[in-house]
Every structure is written in structure tokens, then in C-alpha cells.
Amino acid sequence: MSTDHNQRLGFGRYGKTAHGREESRQSRKTKTKRQLKEITITEAKNQLLATGEIRKVLSVIGGGKEATVLLAENTEEELVCAKVFRYFTSTIRKRLRGTIHLLEDDMAALAAKQEYWNLHEMKVNNIPVPEPILLSDNIVIMEFIAEENGSLIPAPLLREVNLSHYDPEELFYDSIDILAELFLKGYYIHGDYSEHNLMLTQKGVLLTMDVSQSVQYNTRTFIDTPFRIRIDRAIDLLETDIENINRYFRRAYRITISPNEVKEAIIKELPQKLQNFLNERTLEVYPSDMHTPETLIGKERYRDELVYQRTGTSRQQPSR
Ligand SMILES: Nc1ncnc2c1ncn2[C@@H]1O[C@H](COP(=O)(O)OP(=O)(O)OP(=O)(O)O)[C@@H](O)[C@H]1O
Ligand SMILES: [Mg+2]
């Protein structure tokens, strides 16, 4: 439709020439630019110093897809690790697709919050993860996992270590143990479990991190709730985590274990009620799809008859 036509029909308010349209178009344009802006390392450093908790930023230890990870010294002169989440990343955007009530600006802070509280909950359950220390907007400050005590070098990732100095099979089982403990003790699925997100200290201790996407499952009901997913969905995600770590050990060390067997073994350790949920899987039907159960229909008829017997009149349907 041409603008003229619009105006003639009285659609000027909505057309190309509508009042304020150009302004909103411009603001949309600049907004997109702002959203796509990544935080530079200098900005990350400045943000960190502005928290007042950090004395000195020592080095950059990671610049992954969603955050810049820095080694710093806190006001008590201890080494700490600071993960500064970026304002916009495709991962964050993908994760929050559909949650329209969230502003893009809030996403980094949300990812940081999830990372912090997930680390906290995992630590409480004795899962080997760095201890979270502080949450401030889009920044998580946590324990620095050094290669060895006092070193400024971070512990290497599993993929960076040549396991010939260790017992690879033992480490494989350790990594599966972490997954099982996350699942059974913390009710968590890691969600990005692999050789990239496991660290190995010189003492041979394996730790996992990068848990902003981790999520807990519901232990009381068989439904998705705003903060917890349904147990059967959790099992599917658990399977992916097992497969990923299994793939690494198979490729690098020719050690493998059937992901299905591991999954079944973990399921067997779940409380009986959760196993029952899994076996039934009957609540695929949502309440609106449900038919009125026979028993309820029977109840209505029973009441109608009762009213008739007592009063000799028909029962009035309750107004809804
Ligand atoms: N607490 C820590 N102590 C020591 N090093 C750490 C710590 N946390 C993270 N790192 C290092 O920083 C890197 C990036 O951290 P993390 O995986 O949490 O961030 P990311 O943005 O998801 O990065 P990636 O996209 O590479 O996975 C890790 O690979 C690890 O080497
Ligand atoms: Mg990572």
C-alpha cells in the first residue's frame, strides 16, 4: 500500500509517515548496536575494580564465548578468579529466547546470577567446583583453581592434559562420578559437560565449572516449573552430558562405557518416587486437554438424583 493510499484511508497513524516513526526507527537501530557491543578486556577490568573488592587485576585466563575470565587479587591479597559476563552473546540470547519480559541488558547479569547460585548450591552439596565468593551485576568472583598451591597459572583443562602421567580410566570414572553426584545430590544437570569444562589440578583432582546453564529438576512433581525442569527432560540432558564426556575418552584414550548403562545406573539410585514418575510418564497431557473424568460425571448425576428425591425439583446447575 502506498503512503498516499494509507493516508486517504486514514491509516496515516500507522503508515511510513506516521508521527514518531522515524524516531523509533532510529532508536531501534542504535539499540541494536548497543546490544551487540561486547565488553573489552579493559572494560571488564574497570568493572571489576569498581566493585571495590579487587586490588589488582593480574592476567586474563580465559576469553570464552560468554565471558572474560580474569585472575585478580582481592583486598585481602588472595588470588581470585573473576568471570565477567558479556552483555550480549548468542548463547545468552538462545537461552533466553521466548522470555520477552527480560531486557537484553539484564541477560549478562542473569547469566552471572545463575552461575553464582549454581556454584553455591553445588558447593553446598560437596560437588567439586570453584567456591563462589561474590556476585556483582554481571560479575562472579570465585576461588581461583591453580595448577598447584600458590601458582599464578590456572589448572589446565582436561583437554589440555596428557593423561599418560595419570590413570585415564580412573579419571574417566571420576568425571562420571561428578555427573552422578551433581544429578543425585544436587538434582542438577550440568548441561555443558565436556573436556572443556573440567579442570585437573596437579594432585589429580578433577573439578568442573562453567555452570551458568546448569539447571535443577523437580523432585516433587512431574512437571516443568519456572526454575526446575521435569525429571524425564533432565534424564535426556544427562544422557547428552554422559555421551560428551564418553566421546572424549573414547577418542583420546580408547576408553568407553555405554552411556545407556551409566544412565540406568544413575536412575536406579534415584528415590523411588522419582523412578515412578519416570516409569509412568502419564502427565504428557496438559490440564486443558483432559476430559472430565468418569467419576466426576457420575458425581454430578448422583447429586441431581439426590436433589430430586429430596425436593421433587430438578437441581439447578451451579452458575460458573
Ligand atoms: N575458578 C577458576 N580457576 C581457574 N581457572 C578458571 C576458573 N574458572 C574458569 N577458568 C578458566 O577460564 C576459562 C573460561 O572459563 P569458563 O569455561 O567458565 O568460561 P566460558 O566463557 O564459558 O568459556 P568457554 O567458552 O571457553 O567455555 C576456563 O577454560 C578455565 O581455563
Ligand atoms: Mg567453558
Which pLDDT tens digit goes with each residue over 298-308?
556 656 666 67
Question: Are both 175 and 255 inside the same structural domain?
Answer: yes
3-state secondary structure string across 286-301? CHHHCCCCHHHHHHHH
Is any ligand 1 atom within 6 A of the Cβ of residue 218?
no
Q: Which ligand lies nearest to the CA atom of residue 123 in the structure?
A: 1
CA–CA gap between residue 229 and residue 277 (Å, rounded): 13
Question: Are both 145 and 67 inside the same structural domain?
Answer: yes
The answer to whether residue 9 sits within a structural domain is no
Q: Show the domain range for 138.
A: 37-149
The answer to whether residue 18 sits within a structural domain is no
Contact 267, 235 (CB under 8 A): yes
Q: For 184-242, how does the pLDDT look when each residue is reduced to its tens digit (9 = 90+)?
A: 999 999 999 999 999 999 999 999 999 999 999 999 888 888 889 999 999 999 999 99
Name the residue at shortest CA distance from atom 26 of ligand 1: 64
Residue ranges near ligand 2 (ion) with Cβ within 5 Å: 64, 197, 210
The answer to whether residue 140 sits within a structural domain is yes
Q: Which atom of ligand 1 is nearest to the CA of 157?
A: 31
Question: Are both 264 and 298 inside the same structural domain?
Answer: no
Count of domains observed in the chain: 3
Task: Output the CA 210–ligand 2 centroid distance in Å.
Answer: 5
Sheet holding 228-229, edge to edge: 188-189, 215-217, 228-229
Is any ligand 1 atom within 6 A of the Cβ of residue 204?
no
Instruction: List the CATH number of the domain containing 75.
Output: 3.30.200.20
Q: Does the global pTM surpass 0.95?
A: no
The answer to whether residue 296 sits within a structural domain is yes
The answer to whether residue 74 sits within a structural domain is yes
Where among 124, 149, 174 does a domain terminate? 149
Q: For 141-186, how does the pLDDT look when each residue is reduced to its tens digit (9 = 90+)?
A: 999 999 998 899 999 999 999 988 899 999 999 999 999 999 999 9
Task: Output the CA 82–ligand 1 centroid distance in Å.
Answer: 10
CA–CA gap between residue 144 and residue 127 (Å, rounded): 16
Is any ligand 1 atom within 6 A of the Cβ of residue 210?
yes
Where among 149, 177, 194 does a domain terminate? 149
Helix axes 259-268, 231-253, angle to 10 degrees: 140
